[in-house]
């Protein structure tokens, strides 16, 4: 009976297994071909990505250099502006001190002039008082004489 099963196996199943094995070899060959094709495509895409990465790296370096130069220029301009600000502040203080000194000088001159004018007015007022007093005495004398 084992021989019958073996013979049945060899006549029916073995040829089918051989056919399936051939089909599997064909499928494996197709898979290997597609795998090779995909690997070449992925390799091409990967090389394109590598080229793009190199370009981005170059652009990044270029922009980094430009930003460094811009930062340097900004720092230089900030220094100049700060220098101008200090110069302007010093000039404002100098002009303020000069104007303050001039105002004090004018105030002192006006004060001296005012004292002098006040003194002259006082002298004239005293003279006018004396003149009025003298006129009053004369008028009183005339009024007494006329009575």
pLDDT in tens, 41-98: 888 999 999 999 999 999 999 999 999 999 999 999 999 999 999 999 999 999 999 9
User: What are 18's two structure tokens?
Assistant: 């051989």
Residue 88 gets the label, from left (phi > 0), alpha (psi -120 to 50) or beta, of: alpha
Distances (CA, A) of 145 to 135, 136, 137, 138, 141: 15, 14, 12, 10, 6
Q: What is the pTM of this model?
A: 0.44
| Per-residue model confidence (pLDDT) at position 10 | 78
Residue in this structure with the two tokens 């007494």, named with its chain if needed: 144
Alpha carbons 74 and 60: distance in angstroms, whole number: 20
User: What are 31's two structure tokens?
Assistant: 């898979």
pLDDT in tens, 115-128: 899 999 999 999 99
User: Within 1-147, where are the H helices?
Assistant: 2-8, 14-146
């Amino acid at each position: 009976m084992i021989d019958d099963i073996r013979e049945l196996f060899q006549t029916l199943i073995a040829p089918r297994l051989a056919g399936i094995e051939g089909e599997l070899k064909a499928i494996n060959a197709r898979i290997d071909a597609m795998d090779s094709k995909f690997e070449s495509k992925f390799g091409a895409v990967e090389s394109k990505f590598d080229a793009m990465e190199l370009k981005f790296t170059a652009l990044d370096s270029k922009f980094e250099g430009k930003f460094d130069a811009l930062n340097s220029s900004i720092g230089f301009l900030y220094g100049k502006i700060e220098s101008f600000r200090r110069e302007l502040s010093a000039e404002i203080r100098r002009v303020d001190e000069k104007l303050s000194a001039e105002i004090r000088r004018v105030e002192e001159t006006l004060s001296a002039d005012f004292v002098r004018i006040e003194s002259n007015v006082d002298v004239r007022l005293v003279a006018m008082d004396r003149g009025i007093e003298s006129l009053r005495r004369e008028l009183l004398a005339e009024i007494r004489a006329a009575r």
